[in-house]
Amino acid sequence: MPELAEVEYVRRRWNPGLGHVVSTVRLHPRAGVFKTCDPAALAAILPGARLDSSAAAAKQMLFRFTAADAAHTQLWLGLHLGMTGELTVRPAGLPAAKADHLILDQPAAPAAKNSLGRSLVFSDFRMFGRVQFHTGPDAPAWWAGIAPAVTSPKFTIAVVSEFLRRRARAPLKAVLLMQERFPGIGNWMADEILWRAALHPARRCGDLSPAEVKKLHRETVWVAAQALRLIGEADTPEWPDPPKTWLFQHRWEDGGKCPRTKKPLERATIGGRTTCWSPARQKLSAT
DNA sequence: TCCTATGTTGTATG
DNA sequence: ACATACAACATAGG
């Protein structure tokens, strides 16, 4: 159930495969995760290619391969984890499990005495994830079209302000989930941001004062940067959770209390998603 | 049985 | 055309 920082964490799970050639591709072509690409093309073209690098942006990942042909054709594998997608590395030679949709087998390099090779596995039992495949010198258009990161200089107060103005009647919670402007923000990050900014998730976007917009912008950047550092850069077997001082740790607790006010948290569906907030610090009435 | 789930998208409505 | 709301997708677990 990954958002910005968890996607970065998951992307790095395949790092052991960097610099290694894919010998065989195993996939289950009927899986819904292949709706947006041709699995047969992927299975035909990828074998023989070397995994060279990867990147994450928003909730997307892009893995770049170099084909073995004379032209060194660049191959691009895009992955989205949906709600339940995972990337793992397994020892070579294991059979595919039920929810494994794409397996890239990498044999041991001939010179390597201490490696038996590995399989890079993309699995997703709920199949909301997506696989995309692209061939050519440049990254695919969909990748280039991802909105600038909320941690980048292009994510300015003015940009946020204009976006909120165009969505004036929508609740804040719904708008924070819009990837076209808040790439990588998902349900828990949106709640975390609004809690820190002391803004009620049901507030209409058009009702915010300039000071409130500034606060929303600042907390968006802060939460994303901190989450990337705490979760995205972790090397633990599972991705870590943020500290107890974050709303995150209390949002699902029965009778959960706001870590700042120590007063009860509330939950309701706002913007179509279960939302948690602290009524003591996030007021619905305009300030 | 019914409800929930850290996501996206197609469709209906205004 | 644009903004908004919500069902649908597929599966497991409480």
d(CA A274, CA A252): 10
Tell me: pLDDT of A154 over 50: yes
Q: How confident is the model at residue A109 (pLDDT cuts 50, 70, 90)?
A: confident
**Which of A144, A169, A190 is the last residue before a domain boundary?**
A144
Give tens-digit pLDDT for A117-148.
Answer: 999 999 999 999 999 999 999 999 999 999 99
Does residue A41 contact residue A133 with C-beta atoms inside 8 Å?
A: yes
Residue A150 inside a domain? The answer is no
d(CA A117, CA A139): 28
A90-102: average pLDDT: 95
Taking the CA of residue A126 and the C1' sugar atom of nucleotide C8, their distance in angstroms comes to: 14
Task: Indicate whether A139 and A163 sit together in one domain.
Answer: no
* Local structure of residue A21 (DSSP, 8 states): B
For the full predicted model, state whether its pTM sits above 0.85: yes
Tell me: pLDDT of A286 over 60: no
- Fill in the amino acid letter for A96: A
Task: Indicate whether A13 and A137 sit together in one domain.
Answer: yes
**Residue nearest C6 (alpha carbon to C1'):** A272
Q: How confident is the model at residue A285 (pLDDT cuts 50, 70, 90)?
A: confident
Q: Is the CB of A174 under 7 A from strand C?
A: yes
A2-18: average pLDDT: 98
DSSP A263-287: SBPEEEEETTEEEEE-TTT--SS--
Residue A40 inside a domain? The answer is yes
Task: Indicate whether A13 and A122 sit together in one domain.
Answer: yes
3-state secondary structure of A56: strand
Residue A128 inside a domain? The answer is yes
* Overall number of domains in chain A: 2
Residue A171 inside a domain? The answer is yes
Residue A273 inside a domain? The answer is yes
Does residue A95 contact residue A123 with C-beta atoms inside 8 Å?
A: no
Task: Name the residue range of residue A215's domain.
Answer: 157-277
Give tens-digit pLDDT for A215-262.
Answer: 999 999 999 999 999 999 999 999 999 999 999 999 999 889 999 999
d(CA A194, CA A276): 10
Does residue A96 contact residue A29 with C-beta atoms inside 8 Å?
A: no
Q: What is the pLDDT of residue A287?
A: 46
**Residue nearest C4 (alpha carbon to C1'):** A170
**Domain CATH code at residue A257:** 1.10.8.50
Q: Is the CB of A222 under 7 A from strand C?
A: no
Q: How confident is the model at residue A1 (pLDDT cuts 50, 70, 90)?
A: confident
